[in-house]
Structure 1
Amino acid sequence: MKKVLLFGAIVFFGAVNAQTEKGTWMVSGKSEIAFNSTNAKAKLKGQEVSEIKTSTFSFAPAAGYFIIDYLAIGVGLNYTNSKVEDSKSDTFVIIPQLSYFFPVTGEVKPYVEAGVGYATNKTTEGNADFKLNGIAYGFGAGVAYFVKPNVALNLGLNYSALHLKYSENKDFESDTNNLGLGIGISVFLK
């Protein structure tokens, strides 16, 4: 009986450690629900013209491939739709990113991630449309709890920022900084 338990433990720990090995795919989705604090400032020729604070809901799917053990390279997407009074805003972000899982044994693996990419925004106020685009970047840290050998629940703290310029007037800029607590699920495929 002891040999069977020992064999089972070896197989289980081997399976848990296999998720972050070279050659593994990771597919994940995050949802940042009501724990975000967003502060957006708009500038015209260097002068601040408005400041808006809001809470948002966004969904951010991502996919990555482990190029070496514990290190995945991938791409993350984020789509956010928000409405404040008579203003409606749609933002789409695509960010190539790196994710590193710390080499620890057990079902809980800490991770860090970072990326830089492109963002576009369309804001409608009344009958006027404003289109902005520019750079997006972010980083975060958290833990992945493996509920099954190839499925993990993620909990992490994320920071992201957008620096956008109005397409018709480059003097109009929008800077958005976001700090959020995210929850999600990841699937690891070998």
Structure 2
Amino acid sequence: MKKIILTVAAVFAFGLANAQDKKESNGGQTSEGKWLIEANTGFGSGVGSTALYFTSEDGNTAYNIGAEAGYFIMDDLALKAGLGFGDNGGDGPGSSAVAYKIGAKYYIKSMIPVELSYNGVSYKDFDENPSYIGIQAGYAWFLGDNVSIEPGIRYNNSLNSDFYESNIQFNIGFALHF
């Protein structure tokens, strides 16, 4: 747990050290009344997610497709929801999953996104499905008025640890702001 806290602190320190002033040309992406649509790549532990990925190994193909959307209820604070669908290429129970997420994302100084969310997975033919409380932090690089790239780190704390473990994920998010 100490390593996780230190890693999140390092991400915050990096973001603060490299902080850019909010310029008129890219200001307003996180303003009240704006919308956010995100697609993420998920690296790390295999948690059903709203991330995009595709793998193929030894004739077994696995994929996940998903996205998240949010609405800024005030400057720098968005309420978000996401859905994802994945298949691990198998035929048995748990071969396909639907993931869901609901939470809030706050942009510190309009460029350091911090997210707190509840996410879960519904596996095909499973009696016990995982659910997590996740916290994520990163940095937003705005590439104009409507696009940002947001690398980050996420810690998912399992709410049913008898069946599923807590884990860490590294993400690279691509967001549209309008």
TM-score per shorter chain, which class? 0.5 to 0.7
Deviation for aligned residue 1:96 = 1.2
1 CA distance for matches of 2:137 and 2:101? Answer: 16
1 CA distance for matches of 2:90 and 2:28? Answer: 45
Alignment of 1:76-95 (within 5 A): 76-82=82-88, 89-95=95-101
**More strand by proportion, 1 or 2?**
1
| Paired residues, number | 143
Q: Which residue of 1 aligns with 2:118?
A: 116
CA contact (8 A) 1:142 1:156 kept: yes
2 CA distance for matches of 1:180 and 1:157? Answer: 6
Deviation for aligned residue 1:154 = 1.4
Q: Which residue of 2 aligns with 1:158?
A: 154
| TM-score normalised to structure 2 length | 0.67
Q: Which secondary structure does the structure 2 equivalent of 1:16 belong to? A: coil
Pick aligned residue for 2:35 from 2, 25, 32 = 25
Q: Which secondary structure does the structure 2 equivalent of 1:77 belong to? A: strand
2 CA distance for matches of 1:14 and 1:187? Answer: 18
Identify unmatched segments of 5+ residues in structure 1.
1-11, 40-55, 123-128, 166-172
Matched, 1:183 2:175: no
2 CA distance for matches of 1:101 and 1:135? Answer: 25
Structure having the higher Rg: 1
C-alpha distance after superposition, 1:106-153 (max 9, x if no partner) = xxx21100112443112xxxxxx4343363321211111111121001
Identity %: 25
CA contact (8 A) 1:38 1:176 kept: no
Deviation for aligned residue 1:92 = 1.7
Alignment of 1:95-106 (within 5 A): 95-103=101-109
C-alpha distance after superposition, 1:80-111 (max 9, x if no partner) = 3325797753222212110011115xxxx211
| TM-score normalised to structure 1 length | 0.63
Q: Which segment drifts farther, 152-161 or 68-77?
A: 152-161
Deviation for aligned residue 1:163 = 4.4
Instruction: State the Cα RMSD in Å.
Output: 3.0
Deviation for aligned residue 1:177 = 2.6
CA contact (8 A) 1:23 1:68 kept: yes
